[in-house]
Amino acid sequence: MDFKTDFKPLTIEPDKIYDYSFSIIKEEMGAHDFSEEEWMVVRRIIHASADFELGRSVMFNGDAIQAGINAIRKGRHVIVDVQMIESGTGKKRFQKYGGDLHCYISDEDVMKEAKRQNTTRAIISMQKAVRENEGGIYAIGNAPTALLELIRLIKEGIAKPDLIIGMPVGFVSAAESKEELAKLKDIPFITNVGRKGGSTVTVAALNAISILADQVK
């Protein structure tokens, strides 16, 4: 086989790869009801998943994007449920406003307490997050139990996030945790319907909002 006759990528110029991707996504998506700014988030979720069904299932509540932008600009912190989201998210766009990313799930005190209670580290890490942060953006892409615990803390009046990005993935409680989130009419949130989600799409949403924080007036 002669390599020279094989597939050559359309481009290897980094900036152009994004541009091409977004133009393909726009064309294949066709009609939708997302606002212009919502679409900036949704197209990144589709870009990260290659899944239009997932993209179409995304829901926004309570002027979620503006709430996220405001929180970033105020230097509010971003709390994520797992390290994959932490490592995939561009931190600089938060840090320049004074905020930072926090992931408590592997903290020693969290691990110890979860073991003691025979519960998930995700639950204990949310309790710690709410103790240690005022408001903040909560981006949960993996653990339904983290999202359910955060919802419980909100209902009990203990937590008041600026924005929740709630897109855990999976077969046990993931879809249900998002249904519970969707009932919180007073909290700005971004979520999706169904079992799909995950760290990569949560990162995509978080990055999209932090980019908008730099661009939108």
Question: Judged by CB under 8 A, does residue 158 bind a copy of itself?
Answer: no
Question: What does the block give as tokens for 69?
Answer: 């932008």
Q: Which of 32, 47, 77, 102 is catalytic?
A: 47
Give the count of residues interacting with a copy of itself (CB under 8 A). Answer: 56
Question: What does the block give as tokens for 181?
Answer: 């989130």
Instruction: Name which position in 9, 36, 116, 217 contacts a copy of itself (CB under 8 A).
Output: 9
Q: Where are the alpha helices (DSSP H) in 50-133?
A: 52-56, 64-73, 83-88, 92-95, 108-117, 121-132
CA distance 81 to 92: 19
Question: Judged by CB under 8 A, does residue 13 bind a copy of itself?
Answer: yes
We find the least distance from the C-beta atom of residue 184 to a copy of itself, in angstroms, to be: 10
The region of 43-51, 60-68, 94-102, 207-215 touching a copy of itself under the rule CB under 8 A is 43-51
Q: How many CB atoms lie within 10 A of CB 85?
A: 26
Q: Are 137 and 162 in contact (CB under 8 A)?
A: yes
The Cα angle at residue 162 between residues 210 and 77, in degrees rounded to 5: 60
Question: Judged by CB under 8 A, does residue 156 bind a copy of itself?
Answer: yes
Judge whether 47 counts as a catalytic residue: yes
Question: Judged by CB under 8 A, does residue 120 bind a copy of itself?
Answer: yes
CA distance 144 to 45: 19
Residues in contact with a copy of itself by CB under 8 A are: 1, 3, 6-7, 9-14, 17, 20-21, 24-25, 47-51, 82-84, 86-88, 118-121, 123, 144-145, 148, 152, 155-156, 169-174, 176-177, 179-180, 183, 194-200, 203
